[in-house]
Amino acid sequence: MNEIWELAKGIETEGQRFYRNLAKEAPFEEIAGVLHFLADQEKDHFEIFCLMQDGIVPRKHEKKEARNIAKKAFQTIITNVNKTKMLSGMESALKSAVALEKKSIEYYTSILTKIKGNEFRAGVNAIIEEERDHIAILQSLKELKQPDFPNP
């Protein structure tokens, strides 16, 4: 079981590092803010996996709040960001970020059957939902439109 959590923590560490580095390259402050938000969520996921590895059921956090933060940020981005400048520098990186999120969803889905305890499976499922939200946010950045979040 330990190796499952270690790999999950590694995925989240990679995601956090990726988003922080991408934020440094962001052509607009608003975009950097969204990328830092995603990095912070990856950090939260890492901490949740640490708890699970220690046999502690993670606390539930409010998914709705994260979606509201993202929607509010996009209101500013859509109004203030030059789409041509945005896409010229970040399209490839955003595509890589979507691939990274899909990779994490694939892994987390594959470990669900190996996890003992409904509370732990529920925690992993919540992270999978947040990773899907990350994909919606990243696709919205590419298109500079409000995120279309998947239904849970």
Question: What pLDDT is stored for residue 88 in this prediction?
Answer: 65
Torsions phi, psi for 83 (to 5 deg): -60, -40
The pLDDT profile of the chain, 152 residues, written as one tens digit per residue, is 889 999 999 999 999 999 999 999 888 788 888 899 999 999 999 999 999 999 998 877 656 677 777 788 888 877 877 666 666 668 888 899 999 999 999 999 999 999 988 999 999 999 999 999 999 999 888 887 778 888 76
The full set of domain ranges for the chain reads: 2-143
Question: What pLDDT is stored for residue 149 in this prediction?
Answer: 85
DSSP class of 149: P
What separation in angstroms does the CA of 77 have from each of 61, 82, 138?
26, 9, 13
Question: What pLDDT is stored for residue 111 in this prediction?
Answer: 96
d(CA 91, CA 79): 19
Alpha helix segments (H runs only) across 26-62 = 29-53
Q: What radius of gyration, in Å, describes the C-alpha atoms of the chain?
A: 16
Question: What pLDDT is stored for residue 44 in this prediction?
Answer: 93
Question: What pLDDT is stored for residue 62 in this prediction?
Answer: 59
Q: Which pair of tokens denotes residue 117?
A: 């305890």
DSSP class of 141: H
Question: What pLDDT is stored for residue 90 in this prediction?
Answer: 80
d(CA 109, CA 21): 27
Question: What pLDDT is stored for residue 50 in this prediction?
Answer: 95
- The verdict on domain 2-143 having CATH code 1.10.1840.10 is no
Residue-wise over 84-104: b if at least 16 C-beta within 10 A, else e?
eebbeebeebbeebbebbeeb
